[in-house]
Amino acid sequence: LHTLGIYTVRDLANADRYSILKLRGYPSEPQIFDETYDDICDHRALAIALIEKCTVPKEMNPFTHYDQEKDMPWNVVPRFKGGTPVGENKNYWSARWHGKYYYLNEDKSDEELIDEWDGCSPIRIDPVNVPGIGDVPQPAAIRDPWREVQNLVCKANPGPRAYHAGIYFDQRVYVMGGLTSATDVITVADMWYRDDYLPRARIINKPETLNFGENPFNIFGEAQFKFVARPDKEGTILEHLLYDADEHAIVRTWDRTKSKVSVKWLDYWYKDGPGSGNYIFYVRSLDPAGNIDVSFSKYNMYKWKYVTALPWHIIGGTICGFIALCVIIYLEKKRRKRKAAMERYAIKRMRRKFKGAQREHAAKGAVDWKEIMEKDKKKKMKKKKKKADSNGKGGGTGPNKGTSGNKGTSSKPNTLKAIEFEKSGGKSKEKDRDRAKMKMKEKEKLKQKKA
């Protein structure tokens, strides 16, 4: 670094493209250094972040303007549309998002991008054809320095000055006014003092071990931390950090705040937060001299178990759905029961109707086919009994019933008589049916004539 004239953090942040490429090992021939500086892009990103954090803007001085005033909508000209840059890693961006605006690169040609390339920043061209060197591949990845930057505190110093005044008062040395140098007549109207007293923040109000989610009826409660710095230190700024002890991840980086902080956004169901778990809340104070809390103890850190509120929208929907299902099952069961009762009633009614019709026909002298069928069955049973008796009394070969007796030869005429009886019975039945049909036809004709 010293060979290329890089001595300070600002020199590294402002290094030109060819110096960065030399440290990366390009061009490969002739080789300038024995070893390549593989982490040069990561360290340069850290240097740029430090310069950006510690630079005091002239138009928005933090001592004359409130925190993040430069990020208010009336002070920001947006370059792209869209909301919070969540990207693929939602938790990562949620931890870093505190109202800061991230801009996209403007549309430029390939030649303009190559001319403005600093040797590390990613662009859409890979490899990059650098004039005088050739094709140079882009770094595989550049580490985001936000973890280091959040724990570093910027310290302001008065810088060189001449013809200034000094005073020792209240155990402090004050430097006031003067010129920027002995030759330039540029006056400064400010006052500085050296402060070697480290501030100390203290949490004076904190939730219980189980948060408001433990009480299912207090769903609108809001968990808050209230903390202030020591009263003997004036002009301090408070910062807080939230750490997930279960996932070993930072949920919210150091963010400036007033004396009260709400963690309601941890709710999983209603705020889309990380949800229940063990969390550690840190608070520190930052004074104008840049001093911060150097250690954490029970006074400025607190570990507790956060229990998210119950998902009443899901519970209520499930209960209503179950009640609706029970009502539907009850109504369906009642409908089927009523339908079965109606079917039974209809069958009974049809039976009564047919019986009434039969009685009417019998009263009018109509043919009762049921009685005729029963008489036929009785006659058939009688015939079967007669056949069985005739077969049992017929001729045999016993000692008393020989071939010379009259009784032994009487079976044949009996069977003939039975057959003739059956024939005559069948003919009589046919005649009865024909007569009944004729009577029915005559009645129908009479009815037609009357009609």
Q: Which residue has the higher pLDDT, 94 or 374?
A: 374
Q: How confident is the model at residue 401 (pLDDT cuts 50, 70, 90)?
A: very low
Which has the minimum average pLDDT: 172-181, 205-214, 289-298?
Answer: 205-214
For CA atoms 182, 186, 191, 197, the dihedral sign is negative
Q: How confident is the model at residue 209 (pLDDT cuts 50, 70, 90)?
A: low
Highest mean pLDDT among 167-171, 205-209, 410-414: 167-171
- pLDDT average, residue stretch 243-261: 85
Q: Which helix (H) or strand (E) holds 134?
A: strand 134-136
Which has the minimum average pLDDT: 43-47, 202-206, 354-358, 362-366?
Answer: 362-366
> pLDDT at position 110, please?
79
> pLDDT at position 323, please?
95
> pLDDT at position 344, please?
92
25 has pLDDT over 70: yes
> pLDDT at position 47, please?
92
Q: Which residues lie below 8 Å from residue 262, measured CB to CB, with a gap of 6+?
A: 222, 223, 224, 225
Q: How confident is the model at residue 384 (pLDDT cuts 50, 70, 90)?
A: confident
**pLDDT, tens digit, 9 for 90 and up, residues 45-74:** 999 999 888 887 666 665 556 666 766 777
Mean model confidence pLDDT for the chain: 76
> pLDDT at position 216, please?
44
Burial zone of 93 (CB within 10 Å; 0-12 exposed, 13-18 middle, 19+ buried)? middle
- pLDDT average, residue stretch 162-186: 87
> pLDDT at position 382, please?
84
**What span, in angstroms and rounded, lies between the C-alpha atoms of 424 and 432?**
12
Highest mean pLDDT among 170-174, 195-199, 329-333, 402-406: 329-333
> pLDDT at position 324, please?
95
> pLDDT at position 92, please?
56
418 has pLDDT over 70: no
Q: Within 13 Å of residue 170, how many CA atoms lie on the same side as its CB?
A: 4
**pLDDT, tens digit, 9 for 90 and up, residues 283-306:** 888 887 778 888 888 888 888 888
**pLDDT, tens digit, 9 for 90 and up, residues 311-348:** 888 999 999 999 999 999 999 999 999 999 999 999 99
Which has the minimum average pLDDT: 206-215, 235-244, 386-395, 425-434?
Answer: 206-215
Q: How confident is the model at residue 147 (pLDDT cuts 50, 70, 90)?
A: confident
Which has the minimum average pLDDT: 10-14, 44-48, 70-74, 267-271?
Answer: 70-74
Instruction: State the Cα angle at 252 between 251 and 255, rounded to 5°.
Output: 170
**pLDDT, tens digit, 9 for 90 and up, residues 72-123:** 777 766 554 444 555 555 555 555 555 444 444 456 777 888 888 888 888 8
> pLDDT at position 330, please?
94
> pLDDT at position 364, please?
63
The residue count of the chain comes to 451
Collect contacts of 179-185 with beta carbons under 8 A, ≥24 apart: none
SS (H, E, C) 241-268: EEEECCCCEEEEEEEEECCEEECHHHCC
Would you tell me how many other CB atoms lie within 10 Å of the CB of residue 231? 7
| 302, 206 contact by CB (below 8 A) | yes
> pLDDT at position 213, please?
45
Name beta bridge partners: 175.
166, 192
> pLDDT at position 320, please?
94
